[in-house]
Structure 1
Amino acid sequence: MHELLRMGDLAALVGIVDDGGFAESARRKGVSASTLSRSVTRLEEQLQVTLLRRTTRSIEITPEGAAVLVEAREILDRSETLQDIATIGQKPAGLLRVNAPVPYVLHVLAPHLPQFRLAYPDIQLSIDMTDSLVDLIGSHADVAIRLGRLPDSQMLYRPLGRTAWKLVASPSYLDLHGWPETPADLEQLEQVRFAIPEHINTLRFMNYDSPVYVPAALTAGNGEAVRQLVLNGLGIARFSDFMIAEDLSAGRLVELFPNQLDADPLDISALYLTRASGLRRLSVFLDWLGSISGG
């Protein structure tokens, strides 16, 4: 090999694979697809191997390309870490991509983000909201906030605390349909249900052998939509406590049968890749998350 591989060419290869093709990667980077194609061609000529097989609609990485991709990621990660080390003494800066469930962004992150911006004005946060588990590489996220048990993986994570479940309804709904005195009385009411995950709709109580069945009023596919429907008097539902803490405090919702729900609290965790673990902007963001989440 008569010349060093260019960092830009390696970054181009990684981006093409992560984005699923030349066109999408070019769109994300704001360059032409031909520019990315030249980068891959240059790598292939230098390494004397075929990295990608290209068709009109897709790309396929070769075994040699997969091996090069692993090393390319490592080189790029080390380069970014070295750049981070070189700026020690300066304020953390740069783009940090965050993926989190919609309710967590709205009820935990958003109210506290002004203080983070004041403390770290040079960190540019890009927040993507989704309630489903995502692949950090495929979603271009540096850190993902997740609720519940974590799947087995090679990702690093930091515990951020736990959130308990609460069963709630609006006072106006209960005034109209009756205030239940025992969990069994819930069968006379209606429930606003989550489309996914289905298990949230199951209501188990201490000292009850089987779940209490509550007829469905309607179903919504988003936790925030379920909350709005309950606020508007369409039924009862159970939520993570951070979602409805302000509603309870303001009296917009009331809790039914406190401390009687038989449901384990959800763990709150921040997941991140090994490649990002050396970035100071990630480190200060994780510390801040712990401070606002109690973790």
Structure 2
Amino acid sequence: MSTPYMPVIIYCENRHVWNGSLQKVHELLRMGDLAAFVGIVDDGGFAESARRRGVSASTLSRSVTRLEEQLNVTLLRRTTRSIEITPEGAAVLAEAREILDRSESLQEIATSGQAPAGPLRVNAPVPYVLHVLAPRLPEFRAQYPDIQLSIDMTDMLVDLIGSHADVAIRLGPLPDSEMLHRPLGRTAWKLVAAPAYLDRHGWPETPADLAKLEQVRFAIPEHINTLRFANHKAPVRVSPALTAGNGEAVRQLVLNGLGIARFSDFMIAEDLRAGRLVELFPGQLDVEPLDISALYLTRVSGLRRLGVFLDWLGTIGEG
């Protein structure tokens, strides 16, 4: 007796649209059409999805039309400028994601004896990519040459589905959400300056002496500019030299002798080792280390390529 196929049901407005088997799904619905529909919704429209996929918008339109005809429902309301998903479309979308994820999981199982392969989309803060990931990625590529990494850099928390990311690396406390996460370590804060800057303006002997210097400030988040020290009730106020909206810009300005600033350890570890920067009052900053975490979605947590990437991230820690 042959093994029965797993039943799949697609619901629309509390009624069954179709009830059958994976074999019948394969016969009725094209996986490419389901993927096209999901991609159009995630990308916010036909034109953007077509650009990302390297196909024509008319090709995607035909895929959606086939789905609508086969399921006998309207999935999307289309205008010249936007799309709107119908209630039926939202129900089908959830099932389509599950079908596509199941298909990918089955492919993973079928190739379990082979090396992990396929695309993996990573989102991470700019400094983490430049100072932690980039120097070590040759090791990962050598070990897993068939994994096609795509790295997007942003310091903002992103919607993993909307940004097409499989995993996001984040610093600091995590928001309440349904996303899974894996701790990757912690990074301490350090207050630093260029030796030449201190030679010109004076080397501080106590934290209070910092008031005689100038600070290169972060535009956001503002709290990074606050300098609190153990055994000091109030923060030390330092006049701003200038402000930059990017952590790497702040670092370059400090390296060029424009003031002092505090950074996550991994951002300036090489600079300290090379003597380009010096740490001021080691161990005296009164600020909690930053947690480093990898966030990912339940629906992709079983992918082998994601699993090996998360394991590798755990080995490199905070750099």
Q: Give the structure 2 partner of residue 184 of structure 1.
A: 208
After TM superposition, give the deviation of residue 47 of structure 1 in Å.
1.5
TM-score under structure 1 normalisation?
A: 0.98
Q: CA RMSD in A?
A: 1.2
Q: Give the number of the structure whose alpha-carbon radius of gyration is greater.
A: 2
Q: Give the structure 1 partner of residue 285 of structure 2.
A: 261
1:44 matches 2:68: yes
Any conservation in 1 of the 2:292–2:318 contact (CA below 8 Å)? no
- What amino acid sits opposite 1:235 in the alignment? G
After TM superposition, give the deviation of residue 177 of structure 1 in Å.
0.4
The CA distance in 2 between the partners of 1:49 and 1:94, in whole Å, is 33
**Which has the higher relative contact order, 1 or 2, with Cα contacts under 8 A spaced 6 or more apart?**
1
- What amino acid sits opposite 2:179 in the alignment? M
SS in 2 for 1:114: helix
After TM superposition, give the deviation of residue 294 of structure 1 in Å.
6.1
- What amino acid sits opposite 1:187 in the alignment? A
Residue of 236, 244, 250 corresponding to 2:268: 244
Q: Give the structure 1 partner of residue 170 of structure 2.
A: 146
Post-superposition, which runs of at least 4 consecutive aligned residues in structure 1 deviate over 4 A? none
The CA distance in 2 between the partners of 1:154 and 1:99, in whole Å, is 18
Residue of 93, 113, 117 corresponding to 2:117: 93
The CA distance in 1 between the partners of 2:310 and 2:196, in whole Å, is 40
The CA distance in 1 between the partners of 2:35 and 2:78, in whole Å, is 18
1:58 matches 2:82: yes
Per-residue CA distance 1:118-142 (angstroms, 9 max, x = gap): 1111111111111111111111111
Q: Give the structure 2 partner of residue 24 of structure 1.
A: 48
Q: Percent identity?
A: 86
SS in 1 for 2:123: strand
Any conservation in 1 of the 2:74–2:86 contact (CA below 8 Å)? yes
- What amino acid sits opposite 2:168 in the alignment? A
Q: Give the structure 2 partner of residue 114 of structure 1.
A: 138
Residue of 215, 219, 226 corresponding to 1:195: 219
SS in 1 for 2:267: helix
After TM superposition, give the deviation of residue 144 of structure 1 in Å.
0.6
- What amino acid sits opposite 2:279 in the alignment? E
The CA distance in 2 between the partners of 1:193 and 1:63, in whole Å, is 48
Per-residue CA distance 1:154-188 (angstroms, 9 max, x = gap): 11111000000000000000010011111111111
Q: Give the structure 2 partner of residue 174 of structure 1.
A: 198
The CA distance in 2 between the partners of 1:29 and 1:227, in whole Å, is 37
The CA distance in 2 between the partners of 1:260 and 1:13, in whole Å, is 55
Structure 1: any 5+ residue segments left out of the alignment?
Answer: none
Any conservation in 1 of the 2:187–2:318 contact (CA below 8 Å)? no
Question: How many equivalent residue pairs?
Answer: 295
The aligned runs of 1:63-78 (5 Å cut-off) are 63-78=87-102
The CA distance in 2 between the partners of 1:284 and 1:294, in whole Å, is 17
SS in 1 for 2:28: coil
The CA distance in 1 between the partners of 2:148 and 2:217, in whole Å, is 36
